[in-house]
Each structure stands twice: as structure tokens, then as C-alpha cells.
Amino acid sequence: MDFGSTRNRLNRADVDDQLSKPIGRRIIIGIVALGCAGIVFGESVQRVVGRAITKINPSGSGIASLFPGANTFRIYTVTGSLPSESTKAYTLKVGGLVNRPTTYSYNDLLAMPSVRLDKDFQCVTGWRVPNVHWQGVLLSHILDLSQVQPSAKAVLFKSFDGVYTESLTLDQAKRSDVIVAYEMLGDRPISSEHGGPVRLYVAPMYGYKSCKWLSEIEISDQVVPGYWENLGYDVNAWIGRSNGRSDAPVDGA
């Protein structure tokens, strides 16, 4: 594997970060195997997006702006490309153990009661963006509309990248800080790099739970480990209480 290019050097930093943690051999093999085709830490994308965020995010001013990449999102995709879909073409399919399987359009989601969350985004590799503005629909609202059947225990998520998956227990999915988001970073639609038009945001858990390019929600009788969880990360991804990490929220939230 070649870690020589800028992009791969950054991948290497992620790999080093993983290797320094006692998560075990499974995950090390997974990360190294994926290193080349895996996380795109797209430096070029990152730089442009980082700059844009610095402009609109006050946390990008001052000291943070002296360290490019500090307090800004890194753009992740496991497929090696950044899928994009127009708001017009976008659909969210909700099915499985429900009485009312439904497919929602982007406008259907916008018309639902919306919630705003101002909360940190924390990746399990260590980077954090404090106090991010998120807006969307409570996942619990969508579950209610679908009329979840009594045998349901979990909620599975699929991305239109065709590869990424995640899941939550039904109890986790009903929390008031878990949303199907269509805005992030300051009253703007979610950009396609960040998983727009619609992504999941699971505030109390590490970033890998927040499935980008969300296209399908399936109510199920059991949790199914997601993409990173098959590579060794914890299925219950509570920030500060999983993956051997002890991150404390910066804003006390």
C-alpha cells in the first residue's frame, strides 16, 4: 500500500490513530485492508469544505483557523466516491415491521414537524466539530407515521452509496436527539459531501452511526451490525462510553 500521496498520508494518520488504540486485531486488519479503497479523507474536498465552514462557523475563527482541519468536518466515504442525488429525485423508503410502509419525498420530509439540534459531531478517530446546527425530522416521528409493529426491536439504515449500513435499537431510535436531518452547518441544506440531501444524525453516538446519503429505513426484529461495526467498532456507539474512548462533550451538552 502506498502512503506517499497527500491523501494516503492522511489515511495513514487515521490508521495510526486506530493502531494506537487497544481495539484488537480484527479492526486493524479491517482498516489496513480498506486503507486504499476505504476511507477517502479527500484532502482536496476537505480543504474547500473546510474553508467554507470556517466562513460560516464561528468556531472556525481564532486559534482553530491556525490549524487547518481543526474543528472542521472530514469528508468520509467508504466507496471511494461521493454519491449525489438531487432533492427532486430523492426518496426515503420506510418498511419492514410496520403497518404502513411508505416512501417519502424530500418535500414530504420538509413538510413534517421539524426539530433543531445544536450539538457536537464527534468521530471515533478523535476529531470533533463543536456546536453544529442540525435540522430535520425526529426519527421517532417517522416511526410513528409508519406504525411500528409490536415485534419490532431495531431500526436498520441504508445509504444510497449502495454499501454503508447502520442500525439502532428501537429504544435508541426513539430518542429526542436522533433525527433524519436535511440541514446542517447553519440553516443550509446538507451538501452532498456531507451525505445530503438527507442523512441520519445520532447526537449521543460516534459519527459512524450518522449514516450519510440515507435512502432506506427498515424496522426489524434485531440489530444488524453496520459497516464499521463489522470491522470491530462497538454497535452501541455512545460517545465517551464505547470503543475504549472517554471523550467529554466540549459544551457540556
Residues forming contacts to ligand MTE in the complex (CB under 6 A) are: 73-78, 123, 159, 161, 164, 194-195, 207-208, 210-213
Q: Does the protein bind Mo ion through residue 130 (CB under 5 A)? A: no
Q: Does the protein bind Mo ion through residue 30 (CB under 5 A)? A: no
Strands ordered across the beta sheet of 165-169: 102-105, 91-96, 214-220, 154-159, 165-169
Give the CB-nearest residue to ligand MTE: 207
Nearest-angstrom CA–CA distance, 207 and 247: 13
The cell numbers describing 122, all together, are 464527534
Instruction: Please report how close the Cβ of residue 124 comes to Mo ion at its closest, in angstroms.
Output: 5
> Which residues within the stretch 177-216 sit at the binding site for Mo ion (CB under 5 A)?
207-208
162: burial class by Cβ within 10 Å (0-12, 13-18, 19+)?
exposed
Closer by beta carbon to ligand MTE, 135 or else 210: 210
Per the DSSP assignment, residues forming a β-bridge with 214 are 159
Instruction: Please report how close the Cβ of residue 210 comes to ligand MTE at its closest, in angstroms.
Output: 5
Candidates 30-38, 63-71, 77-85, 116-124; binding stretch for Mo ion (CB under 5 A): 116-124
Closer by beta carbon to ligand MTE, 58 or else 162: 162
Instruction: Please report how close the Cβ of residue 50 comes to ligand MTE at its closest, in angstroms.
Output: 11
Nearest-angstrom CA–CA distance, 188 and 191: 8
Helix, strand and coil percent figures for the chain, each rounded to 5: 25, 25, 50
Binding site for Mo ion (CB under 5 A): 123, 207-208
